[in-house]
Structure 1
Amino acid sequence: MSKPGQHVLITLRKMIASGELPAGERLAEIPTAEALGVSRTPVRIAFRTLEQEGLLSKAGARGYVVRAVSADEIAGAVEIRGVLEGLAARQAAERGLSSATRAALQECLDQGDALFAKGYVTEEDLEVYHDLNLRFHQLLLAASGNPAIAETLARHAALPFASVSALAVNLNDLAREYRRFNFAHMQHHTVVDALVHGQGARAESIMREHANVTLRYREMLSDTGSDVTILRK
């Protein structure tokens, strides 16, 4: 996606998450493009992407409407992800890690350690964490040797915030975000330890709990004063 397209997509996600674009709000290409100062093409692409993510619904030939995203809907979607990733972790531990996968997971841990070592995070740091977090979870799924898990997760990715690639961050409270994501990174350490030692039940439990870090989306979505940004690729 082009840089203007990414800008439009990120802006609209943020407006939906913060409530600036409330549930039921109708969106059309031309007024949205004029408001954002872009052509209609990136807006059209963004609308389609947001529809796939479960944040917009089709309304008429060219229009869309902002979907109502309830706290229960988010919690249910995240719980499904936790169950599936927990299964992947258990199967990966029971199957055993290849030397290449173990090295790749360790690289993610080392990069995260370096990121959080200074005791604070910037918006740019969280974008870096987004990428390494996505890489970590992809490695875990692949290590399970069960492609059905990744396929099922892909089908559920259209549920709001169900995908691990969607991270909501509050830019008005980066100190708290440091604590939240540093804790999530420490969970990465513990699950790798469980994988290395073949502890399937422990690895599954950690990953199910790990998904709960995402549940803070509920309070973010209810706090319209928060400067919430959704990082998603």
Structure 2
Amino acid sequence: MYTADADSSQAVKAQLRLRELILAGELPGGERIAELALVERLGVSRTPIRAALARLEHEGLLQALPGGGYAVRVFSERDVADAIELRGTVEGVAARLAAERGVDASALAAARECLDAVDKVLARRSLTDADFSRYVELNERFHSLMWSMCGSAVIEREIERVVSLPFASPSGFVVVQSNSPRARDMLVVAQDQHRQVLDAIERREGTRAESIMREHARIAQRNLREAVRGQQHERMPAVRLIR
């Protein structure tokens, strides 16, 4: 017997797989999504496929068509820049609140441990693809730990909403750096900002903490420009969606 819970589980799986296909460039920007083709490709029924499509529209990866159905959304460079700017602003608020309200010693210790692990990755003179993957994992963990420090479910929920916007996550464009001769240097700068914001939070310096996080988002803005100008389609196929 097929239950509502089973439908929900299949919808989540379909959503994740569809997101992968879009960001891998296998479903081109502007292309109409054919439901029946997805049913065949993903091996699930139309009900979870429709739920997955609706969720991806909510995320911003798809747009509803006037006559029904969905198409893969394309983005202007300004759209993406605005999403990154919004993320930096909300993260700045989270950092300021964390500093002003104070943070438990165990939370600070967990963040420092995470940054120590990043230091070990960046200690190498040249970084492999595996190093970049490890950096992305640790970078996302640090940002998540910092968000939780603000002690506000409202702020955390808004950050989660913002970072779900296409290309707006803290590691959204890190992969683009992996073939740049300045790659490690830029990650070292980002890591220094991580250390500085944690120091500001620990010292209860709210304005400084907020300013650092807003500046931190500027690195993503620069990576965006390099991705678009350099046409980094091989390293990051999703760049094709930015026009």
Equivalent-residue separation in structure 2 for 1:191 and 1:171 (angstroms): 23
Equivalent-residue separation in structure 2 for 1:4 and 1:117 (angstroms): 39
The answer to whether the 8 A contact 1:27-1:64 is kept is: yes
Alignment partner, residue 57 of structure 1:
63
List runs of 5+ in structure 2 lacking aligned partners.
Answer: 1-8, 239-243
Q: Quick check: 1:12 aligned with 2:9?
A: no
- The number of equivalent residue pairs is 224
Alignment partner, residue 111 of structure 1:
117
Give the match's secondary structure for 2:175. Answer: strand
| Alpha-carbon shift at residue 219 of structure 1 (Å) | 3.6
Alignment partner, residue 224 of structure 1:
231
Assess, with a 3 A threshold, how the Cα gap between structure 1 residues 111 and 129 changes in structure 2: closer, same or farther: same
Assess, with a 3 A threshold, how the Cα gap between structure 1 residues 172 and 140 changes in structure 2: closer, same or farther: closer
Q: Which range is displaced more, 202-211 or 179-188? A: 179-188
Q: Which range is displaced more, 61-70 or 76-85? A: 61-70
Assess, with a 3 A threshold, how the Cα gap between structure 1 residues 25 and 172 changes in structure 2: closer, same or farther: farther
TM-score by length of 2: 0.75
The answer to whether the 8 A contact 1:10-1:229 is kept is: no
The answer to whether the 8 A contact 2:15-2:55 is kept is: no
List runs of 5+ in structure 1 lacking aligned partners.
Answer: none
Q: Which amino acid aligns with 2:20?
A: I
Percent identical across equivalent pairs?
A: 36
| Alpha-carbon shift at residue 213 of structure 1 (Å) | 1.4
Assess, with a 3 A threshold, how the Cα gap between structure 1 residues 166 and 70 changes in structure 2: closer, same or farther: same
Q: Which amino acid aligns with 1:94?
A: E
| Alpha-carbon shift at residue 147 of structure 1 (Å) | 2.0
Q: Quick check: 1:160 aligned with 2:166?
A: yes
The answer to whether the 8 A contact 1:57-1:65 is kept is: yes
Write the mapping of 1:64-83 to structure 2, written as runs, cut at 5 A.
Answer: 64-83=70-89
TM-score by length of 1: 0.78
Which of 180, 185, 203 matches 2:191?
185
Assess, with a 3 A threshold, how the Cα gap between structure 1 residues 181 and 7 changes in structure 2: closer, same or farther: farther
| Alpha-carbon shift at residue 58 of structure 1 (Å) | 3.4
Alignment partner, residue 210 of structure 2:
204
Alignment partner, residue 123 of structure 1:
129
The answer to whether the 8 A contact 2:175-2:235 is kept is: yes
The answer to whether the 8 A contact 1:29-1:40 is kept is: no
Structure with the larger strand share: 1
Larger Rg: 2
Equivalent-residue separation in structure 2 for 1:176 and 1:33 (angstroms): 44
Assess, with a 3 A threshold, how the Cα gap between structure 1 residues 31 and 120 changes in structure 2: closer, same or farther: farther
